[in-house]
Amino acid sequence: MAISTTGRQDMLAVAHECAAAGWPVHPLTPGRKIPARNCPACQDRSHPPAQCPCIQDGGWCHGFHAATTDPERIRAWWGAIPGAGVGVSCGPAHLVVIDIDAHPQPLPARDRLWPGIPLHDHVDLTGLENGFHTLAVLAALRSAPDPAQDETTLRVRTPSGGLHVWYRTDPAHTFHCSSGSSTGRALCWQVDVRAHGGYIVAPGTRTTDGTYTPLAPTRPPAPLPGWLAQELVRTGHTTPADEPAHLPRPAARRSVPSRAREAVVQAGGGRATAAKAMETVLAEVAGCAAAAENMGFSEKLNRAAYTAGGLVAAGQLDQHAAEEALLAAADYARPRQHARALQIIRAGLTAGAQRPMYPGARS
């Protein structure tokens, strides 16, 4: 895709360039970043987009659900709305866009800054102001480059001072959208994820607030970094059906997480305090088996893995045995989420290893 560094392009040309890159497009309301309005019939009645006769007849109703790469349809749409901006449907385009916001807002509760990553009360948050900061901290925690500084991929400055970082994904993997302000699925505060089930504003689109301008050097979207893919899995941006099939299959489920307890004893090597700490957090994970949802499974598993990582770093546990114990508890609670659980466990172990934990040590 040839991307203008000025962002001053004819919107029809932008739409055609996106379509040529294999990105289905749909028109946005002129001057705004929301989809063009539905026709009166679609406004007056609620129906699934898949059953919408307007889409079947070549209309743009229902936004990204109607997105297309058909040049004739694109010509007709932008001929009808010459000032329309360009939206790209992320799922069919196999795109994941990290949408970094810089809104002046008060900090949320600590557990919403980096969901699933424990943040102790003594951590000083002075200077933490927006999504650029939370994403940079997350990258540093994973010993990875900051996506906002990634010059290998397409980055687009937004009129509000934010940044869109575009990545492409393997068509076999599906990631879902989220909002950084959500109390549910979220990567980190003020960092949205645009993926399957959503759209992103195309570079070059003009609104009344300004232009979505690509940053030099302009590049096509690079492959989604592995560490970011793992974070998206850890934070619930996939479903069990979306998870890669090549990951190990779960071991057989047992009536009680006895396999976990056996592994703790083995890993503890006689260190009763460490074994007790692990049994406590593993019991919380196993307790999620009582209900299929709304049990905080991901958070509890991440906390258990973080605890295990600290014990491993302190020489209190064997890492392999600890991972086996965590997997056993996770498989007992959520037998169909093995791949996701494995990602959460490894991320938590890595994070916990940064803070060795010495049970019973005097402060």
> Identity (one letter) of the amino acid at 211?
T
Which residues, 6 or more positions from 230, have their beta carbon under 8 angstroms from its beta carbon?
A: 343, 346, 347
The per-residue pLDDT for range 14-44, each reduced to its tens digit, is: 999 999 999 999 999 999 999 999 988 888 7
pLDDT at 1: 53
Q: What is the pLDDT of residue 330?
A: 85
What is the model's pLDDT at position 319? 79
Which residues on adjacent β-strands are paired with residue 98?
165, 193
State yes or no: pLDDT of 289 exceeds 70.
yes
Write down the residue that tokens 């029809």 correspond to: 12
Res. 269 pLDDT band, cuts 50 70 90: very low
Lowest mean pLDDT among 150-164, 204-218, 265-279, 342-356: 265-279
pLDDT of residue 41: 84
What single letter denotes the amino acid at residue 282?
A: L
Cα(335)–Cα(97) distance, integer angstroms: 30
Give residue 243's pLDDT.
Answer: 53
| Secondary structure (3-state) at 192 | strand
- Does pLDDT of 154 surpass 90? yes
Q: Cβ–Cβ contacts within 10 Å for residue 226, how many?
A: 10
Do β-strands 85-89 and 210-211 pair in parallel, antiparallel, or remain unpaired?
A: unpaired
The CA-atom distances, in angstroms, between 97 and each of 23, 90, 171, 309 are 13, 8, 15, 31
Cβ contacts of 280-289, under 8 Å, gap ≥ 24 = 281/307, 281/308, 282/257, 282/325, 282/326, 282/329, 283/257, 285/326, 285/329, 285/330, 285/333, 286/256, 286/257, 286/260, 286/329, 286/332, 286/333, 287/333, 288/333, 288/334, 289/332, 289/333, 289/334
DSSP code at position 121? T
Q: Each residue of 292-307: pLDDT tens digit?
A: 666 788 888 988 999 8
Query: What dihedral do alpha carbons 258, 263, 268, 270 form, nearest 10°?
Result: 70
The token pair at 320 is 């392999």
Mean pLDDT of 152-162: 97
- 304 phi, psi to nearest 5 deg: -65, -45
Average pLDDT value for residue range 328-354: 83
Instruction: Return the higher-pLDDT residue of 277 and 157.
Output: 157
357 pLDDT higher than 80: no
pLDDT at 336 over 80: no
pLDDT at 257: 46
pLDDT band at 3 (very low <50, low <70, confident <90, very high): low
What's the average model confidence in pLDDT over 130-147? Answer: 94
pLDDT band at 321 (very low <50, low <70, confident <90, very high): confident
**Mean of all residue pLDDT scores within the chain:** 84
User: What is the model's pLDDT at position 5?
Assistant: 41
Confirm if 318 and 274 have CB atoms less than 8 A apart: no
DSSP string, 4-36: -SS----HHHHHHHHHHTT--EEEE-TBSSSBP
What is the identity of the amino acid at 240? P
Q: Report the pLDDT averaged over residues 338-353.
A: 86
